[in-house]
């Protein structure tokens, strides 16, 4: 059984006022909130439940987290940070969603936490929010655009995780 709630990193965004944080820190705080929301959906489930397919696609709770690791690495690592691109599997463009025997829940969660921490470092070190990003394929995007895109991507998958969790054991809510 996976336990992730003993290490919550959820920021207290409800008590903040606009004057409490600058725009970049506000974006990062809300991104952290959605990241942790995804992880909370895994709490208390075993490996079979986390990798159970309930849809025709490869979407599973653990697959969502594995996918989000690559999303973090692409948008913050490669696009903003200029780090080398992780090559896709040429035979399977959706391989990041596939859970294999090598993908333990603990390791996938640890990889996600590490990717998120690194992403936050890169987001804080990036130039002004209006600066164009140096990464490949998206030279017309700004740092702000990437952070807002990451908010949308992560929040969308948090919603997917919420529905999958309810289908697995009926648990709902934050």
How does pLDDT run across 52-85, given as a tens digit for each residue?
999 999 999 999 999 999 999 999 999 999 898 8
CATH number at residue 149: 1.20.120.450
Which pLDDT does position 7 carry in this prediction? 47
Q: Quick check: is 61 in a domain?
A: yes
Which pLDDT does position 92 carry in this prediction? 83
DSSP-derived 3-state class of residue 91: coil
Burial class (CB in 10 A: 0-12, 13-18, 19+), 147: buried
pTM of the shown model: 0.88
Q: Quick check: is 165 in a domain?
A: yes
Q: Mind listing the pLDDT tens digit for each residue in 88-136?
A: 777 888 888 999 989 999 999 999 999 999 999 999 999 999 998 876 6
Q: Quick check: is 49 in a domain?
A: yes
Q: Among 109, 134, 124, 81, which residue's Cα sits nearest to residue 8?
A: 109
Portion of the chain with pLDDT greater than 90, in percent: 68
Domain that holds residue 102: 22-85+93-169
Residue 154 in this model has a pLDDT that exceeds 80? yes
For residues 122-140, b (16+ Cβ closer than 10 Å) or e, as one string?
A: bbeebeebeeebebeebee
The number of CA neighbours under 13 Å toward the Cβ of 103 is: 22
Q: Quick check: is 113 in a domain?
A: yes
Separation between Cα atoms, residue 40 and residue 161, nearest integer Å: 9
């Amino acid at each position: 059984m996976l336990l992730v709630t003993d290490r919550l990193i959820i920021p207290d965004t409800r008590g903040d006022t606009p004057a409490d944080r600058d725009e970049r820190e506000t974006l990062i705080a809300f991104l952290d909130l959605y990241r942790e929301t995804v992880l909370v959906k895994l709490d208390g489930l075993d490996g079979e439940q986390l990798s159970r397919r309930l849809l025709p696609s490869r979407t599973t709770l653990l697959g969502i987290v594995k996918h989000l690791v690559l999303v973090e690495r692409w948008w913050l690592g490669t696009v903003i940070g200029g780090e080398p691109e992780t090559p896709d599997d040429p035979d399977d463009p959706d391989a990041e969603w596939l859970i294999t025997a090598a993908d333990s829940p603990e390791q996938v969660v640890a990889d996600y936490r590490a990717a998120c921490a690194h992403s936050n470092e890169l987001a804080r070190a990036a130039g002004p929010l209006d600066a164009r990003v140096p990464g490949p394929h998206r030279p017309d995007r700004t740092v702000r655009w990437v952070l807002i895109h990451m908010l949308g991507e992560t929040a969308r998958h948090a919603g997917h995780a919420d529905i999958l969790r309810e289908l697995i054991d009926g648990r709902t809510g934050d």
